[in-house]
Amino acid sequence: MSDHLLGHRKPKEPGKVRGNPARALIEVAVLNVLQDQEPMHIEQLVRALPAYTWRQVFTAVDVLRKDAVLTVTQPDQLSYRIGLTRAGHC
């Protein structure tokens, strides 16, 4: 059975996102911040990227998590911590 049918996605290279250059720019911006300051809470990441909305940052984090570039953990009920996976480190 193929990975696609099992619900697995082959990780994409950061910045090469389904034909949407604006989305790719946000993903690269997220990775740049995390390379300097990771791991961090989602709120810190949003504040570090004032050119983007909370929703844009959240969407980029979600895509990068699904592509196995980021990890998202929930240290408590009210917060999420974002970090790079080994694949996300350059």
**Pairing relationship of beta strands 79-84 and 40-41 according to DSSP bridges:** antiparallel
pLDDT tens digits, one per residue of 9-40: 554 555 554 567 777 899 999 999 999 887 89
Query: In three state form, how does the secondary structure of the chain look?
Result: CCHHHHCCCCCCCCCCCCCCHHHHHHHHHHHHHHHHHCCEEHHHHHHHCCCCCHHHHHHHHHHHHHCCCEEEEEEECCEEEEEECHHHCC
Ordered domains of the chain (ranges, CATH): 20-88 (1.10.10.10)
pLDDT for the residue 27: 93
Q: Which residue has the higher pLDDT, 81 or 2?
A: 81
Check: pTM over 0.75? Answer yes or no: no
